[in-house]
Structure 1
Amino acid sequence: MITVEKLTKVYGNGDSAVTVLDNLDFSVQQAEIFAVVGPSGAGKSTLAQCVNLLERPTSGSVIVNGENLSQLTEAQLRAARRRIGTVFQSDGLFSRRTAAENISLPLDYLGVTRADAKKRVGELLERVGLSSHAKHYPHQLSGGQRQRVGIARALALKPTVLLADEATSGLDPASTASITALLKELRTDLGLSILFITHEMETVLQVADSVARLDNGHIVESGRVVDLLRDASSPLGRDLNPAKPALPAAPDETTWFVSYTSAHVPSDWVTRLGEALSSPVSLLGASIETIEGAVVGHAQVGLRAANAEAVIRQAQKLGLDARPAAAHDLASTTVAAPAGQKEPVA
């Protein structure tokens, strides 16, 4: 597992100092995929570099499987990094090496025998679904296939932790779906702790168990993905599953925004709500889906009922949060954070 405690990274000194990461605390449990999201300049790339100690934190700790990496010597750190697999946005493959030869690089560097390396590479190619592409060069592979080779190479030394830094950025939707499915499979089969850094909210829904938002070097919100989606007051939950355009309500109706807050919302809640209010309910739009077996989502409905308290009360009985659309829109308005300096370019 990964534990980050009071992690701070400052570039420069005195008046020119820039604090990129400020007292970050979070943990990634065994067999958990923990996503970190945030805008450009939020500190995501620096966080990735600090987790594998390519950048030394100014203060704080990075603990992997009980070992405090920030206290190790350079020689000890080189050994510890072998237990951390890293997948970058760029696949980083060598163009003159085949897929198999690229995967074998970490093994060759450590002097693993040719027979053992060949066996391990074969296992990894099968694991990522590319056994028939072993002799293909990078230019003969699709973007998704090259990223699979990069993942296989990251697994070559049997790490316990996988760091994925924008691993799906730039891929088409089908390739992104295949990579996220592979990461979830690896998490389950190998018990990997995966730190998944991305700016793609939609990808978080596909892959993550938990998520944190990083903004101006601070974690401003975090939690289990399903819990955030079921919290009507969560800005991160709303950003993960934003409301889509809906039909307009009839002239005699008021538009309400209804969101799932429980695991026990009945599938016929529209009918039940109308019966409880003795007033028809018009479904104007909805976004409802299943994530890891949990039903989450929201809908916009048109109501003729004038008693707002009754609407809220009856919705709660059904495991729903209901509020007039105008109030929801106001809560969803993003307030710009104070302007901060951008993350230094490495």
Structure 2
Amino acid sequence: MIELRQLTKTYGDGAHRTTVLDRLDLTVGDREIAAVIGPSGAGKSTLAACVNLLEPPTSGTVVVNGRELSRLDQRSLRDARRQIGTIFQSDGLLARRTAAENVELPLRYLGVTRADRRRRVAELLDRVGLAARSGYYPHQLSGGQRQRVGIARALALRPRVLLSDEATSGLDPEATASVVRLLKELRDDLGLAILFITHEMETVLEIADSVAHLDAGRIVEQGAVVDLLRDPSSALGRALLPRRAHGATRGGAPWSVSYASASVPADWIARAGAALGVDVALLGASIGAVDGHVVGHATIALPPGTDAARLVAVLGDLGLHAAPSAAPADAAREPGTIGRELEPVA
């Protein structure tokens, strides 16, 4: 588990003092993948460095697996860091060492016997699906394979926590998907707490249980991914699953409908139309499953004169939230949106 309480990191003094992280509170539980997203310069990489105390916080606490790292002496801190594996944006592999030799490095530095190193390396490379490429050098591996070697190396000392700092950035979609699948398997099989730092919104939907939006050193919104997607007032939820533009409709004004509960029936359009006694036209929708939960939103149109209060009540009974839809051009300028700062889902 990772617990950050009022974590603050500043550089410089006086007029030259810069606050990079400003009183962050964040918890990542065992068997949880928590994503942190934000624009360049938001403080994401500094956050990762503070979690393993490569950068000492200016104030606040960092607790990993029940130990407050800032209170440990150097020897105890070295021991605690062995429980934290790190996966970098650049795989960080040594070019003149094979995949097996790269994975072996942490074990060699720790003084593990040669026979035990060999067993552990073979186990790890098999775990990440690269047993047949143990003798390959980094230049002989694809980007996704190199990143999986980096993951195997991060697991060498049997950590309880993984830090992933832009680990999928620059990978093609297939390689990204393979890394995401692997990290989710490791979370489930090993009970890891994973802090997944990224700017890729679509990857957050695929991997994260919870997400926090970091901007200018502060967490401006956070929560479970499914809860945010079901909250029509959430700017982060809208950025994770942005609304599609819809064409003009004849007659009545369009309405935005979003999934607000887990009990929305699949035939909600037909049920709404029957309850209202009108035809409900579907103008567009983005609906899917996140970790087994159906989420999404749709734009519908109804005949002129439809009772708005009745519409809201009927859809509410079906587990949906409804509101008049903004025009596409207005929606792009919606106050509080973070779509300009982060990469939206394509």
- Could you tell me the TM-score, scaled by structure 2's length? 0.94
Aligned to 1:110: 110
In structure 2, the gaps of 5 or more residues are 339-346
Residue 10 of structure 1, CA deviation: 0.6
Is the counterpart of residue 24 in structure 1 residue 24 in structure 2? yes
Q: Residue 267 of structure 1 corresponds to which residue in structure 2?
A: 266
Question: Which residue of structure 2 aligns with residue 243 of structure 1?
Answer: 243
Query: 1:335 and 1:224, CA in 2 relative to 1: closer, same or farther beyond 3 A?
Result: closer
Residues 6-50 of structure 1 show CA distances to partners (whole Å, capped at 9, x for unaligned) of 100010001110011111111110110011111111111110110
Task: Report the Cα offset of residue 282 of structure 1.
Answer: 1.1
The C-alpha deviation readout for 1:284-338, integer Å capped at 9, x for no partner, is 111111111110011111211532212111110111111111289559714489x
Conserved? CA contact 1:249–1:302, under 8 Å: no
CA deviation after TM superposition for structure 1 residue 261, in Å = 0.4
Q: Which stretch shows the higher mean deviation, 287-296 or 325-334?
A: 325-334
2:134 maps to 134
1:147-162 matches, within 5 Å, as 147-162=147-162
| Whole-angstrom distance in 2 between the partners of 1:305 and 1:163 | 54
Q: Give the SS at the match of 2:97.
A: coil
State the shift of 1:249 in Å.
4.0
The corresponding residue for 2:343 is none
Q: Please name the residue that 1:333 is paired with.
A: 334
Which amino acid counterpart does residue 10 of structure 2 have in structure 1? V
In the alignment, the residues of structure 2 paired with residue 88 and residue 40 of structure 1 have an alpha-carbon distance, to the nearest angstrom, of 16
The corresponding residue for 2:278 is: 279
- Number of residue pairs aligned between Structure 1 and Structure 2: 336
Unmatched runs of 5 consecutive residues or more in structure 1? 338-346
SS of 2:296 mapped into structure 1: strand
* Alpha-carbon spacing, 1:151–1:58, altered in 2? closer, same or farther (3 Å): same
- On the 8 A contact 1:103/1:153 being kept in 2, the answer is yes
Determine whether 1:203 maps to 2:195: no
Deviation at 1:250, TM superposition (A): 2.9
Could you say which residue in structure 1 is the equivalent of 2:342? none
What is aligned with 1:166?
A: 166
Q: Is the 8 A contact 1:282 1:302 kept in 2?
A: yes
| TM-score, normalised by the number of residues in structure 1 | 0.94
- Give the alignment's Cα RMSD to 1 decimal: 1.6
Q: CA separation of 1:327/1:263 partners in 2, compared to 1, >3 Å: closer, same or farther?
A: farther
Counterpart check, 1:225 vs 2:228: no
Aligned to 1:324: 324
1-structure distance, mates of 2:300, 2:106: 56
What residue identity is the alignment partner of 2:144?
G
Contact 2:235 2:337 in 1 (8 A): no
**Contact residue 24 and residue 218 of structure 1 kept, 8 A:** yes
Residue 297 of structure 1 corresponds to which residue in structure 2? 296
In the other structure, the counterpart of 1:342 is none
Partner SS for 1:326 = coil
Of the structure 1 ranges 111-120 and 276-285, higher mean CA displacement relative to structure 2 is found in: 276-285
Deviation of 1:245 after TM superposition, in Å, equals 2.8
